[in-house]
Homo-oligomer: A and B are copies of this chain.
Amino acid sequence: MNWITTIGLLAAICTTMAFLPQAIKIIKTKHTKDLSLNMYLVLVIGVILWLTYGILIQDLPLIIANGITLMFTSTILTLKIKYK
């Protein structure tokens, strides 16, 4: 694996895992007032579309990264609706 691929992989890990601390924060505090509902609605739709795109072009990194991101962002969206 060359260093350019490594940068792409690190990028994917960061933008995928970034949502985990937000999900944990909400589970701990049960507060979501400052979070934008529209952001998470559009984001979850976007991630579902990326996952669909990944499946259609049979790209495993796209499928894995967006599968994990969907898990985190849909959890945040569900908690936002629950605790609003």
Contacts and interface: CB of A to CB of B under 8 A. Distances in A.
A56 B21 CA distance: 30
Interface in A18-71: 18-22, 24-26, 29, 31-36, 38-40, 42-43, 45-47, 49-50, 52-53, 56-57
A16 to B, nearest CB: 8
A1 interface: no
Chain A, interface SS category:
helix
Chain A's interface size range is 35 or more
Q: Which 6 A-B pairs have the closest CB atoms?
A: A14-B46, A11-B49, A15-B46, A34-B34, A21-B38, A18-B43
28 contacts: A4-B57, A7-B49, A7-B53, A7-B56, A8-B50, A8-B57, A10-B46, A10-B49, A11-B46, A11-B49, A13-B46, A14-B42, A14-B45, A14-B46, A14-B47, A15-B43, A15-B46, A16-B46, A18-B38, A18-B39, A18-B42, A19-B39, A19-B43, A21-B38, A21-B42, A31-B33, A34-B34, A34-B35
